[in-house]
Amino acid sequence: MSADTNLKSRRQCAVPTRTIVGISELAVSTVGSGTLVTHSLGSCMGVSIHDPVAHVGGMLHAMMPLSAADPERARTKPGMYVDSGMTTLLERMFALGATKRNLVIRVAGGASNMDSDSVFRIGERNYTVLRKILWKNALFIQSEDVGGSKSRTMTLDLATGETTIKSNGVMRPL
């Protein structure tokens, strides 16, 4: 079950939902309460988008920069790549009534981990490709916590739009 179908089934619940966005996944929500969370952002790119007017929130956890690497895979799992993930996330948020002008975009991840990833500078590539897609869509980054070598957890509060980053046991607003 994908993250957003999960949300729909829980929409009736009174308890605020906490939806986990897994690696290579994306989720959107119009509930206006609860949180979207993604864990273990290393070289991956985490993107939190909130439209405070339309009460639409979304999150992406993309592993690699470009879907050209495996277009077939990108079709079935667009959240795997930064380019297809961002395009799909934005399209789905717009379909739910979000407007470009109101989007608040916060970005985390893109670390250069001390593993084989660093050979290909995946973190840097992910971040550059993300910036390119935002520039093409005429969108600004509101705030970011990128690079370095730490692992991050990103949480979007769907009621307030507040995004927090937890890394090395410390939680702070992004």
Partner 1 sequence: MTNTTLEMTSSEVGNPVNILIVDDSDIIRRMIARTIEMSGLPLSSIHEAANGREALSVLDRTWIDVVLADLNMPIMGGLELLDRTREDAALRDIPVIVVSTESCEERVDELEKRGVHAVVRKPFRPEQIRDVLLSITDRERPAARTDALGRAVDEVLPLLTFMNAIQLDAASLAPSSQTMMHARMGFSGSVSGILSALVPFSLARTMSENALGEPSSSKDADMIAGDTVGELLNTLAGTVVSDLGNGAAFDLAPPEVGTGSATDWADMQVQPTCAAFEVEGHTMLLNLNVR
Of the candidates 44, 90, 104, 174, the residue annotated as catalytic is: 44
- In this structure, the number of other CB atoms found within 10 A of the CB of residue 75 comes to 10
Provide CB contacts within 8 A for 123, sequence distance 6+: 42, 43, 109, 110, 111, 112, 113, 117, 146, 147
| 54 binding partner 1? (CB under 8 A) | no
Q: Which is nearer to partner 1, 5 or 99 (CB)?
A: 99
CB of 153 vs partner 1, minimal distance in Å? 24
CB of 8 to partner 1, least distance (A): 32
Annotated active-site residue 44? The verdict is yes
Minimum gap (Å) between residue 129 Cβ and partner 1:
15
Shortest distance (Å) from residue 135 CB to partner 1:
7
- The residue among 101 and 172 lying less far from partner 1, judged by its C-beta, is 101
Pattern 124-153, partner 1, x by CB under 8 A: -------x---x--xxxx------------
End-to-end CA distance of the chain: 29
Q: 66-105 mask for partner 1 (x: CB under 8 A)? A: -----------------------------------x----
**Contact call for residues 150 and 138 (beta carbons, < 8 A):** no
Nearer to partner 1, 39 or 131 (CB): 131
For residue 3, give the nearest of 17, 16, 21, 15 by alpha carbon.
Answer: 21
CA distances, 111 to each of 63, 87, 108, 116 (Å): 11, 22, 9, 13
| Residue from 168, 144, 170, 166 nearest 45 by CA | 144
- Separation CA 157–CA 50 (nearest Å): 9
Provide the binding-site residues for partner 1, judged by CB under 8 A.
101, 131, 135, 138-141
Catalytic sites, residue numbers: 44
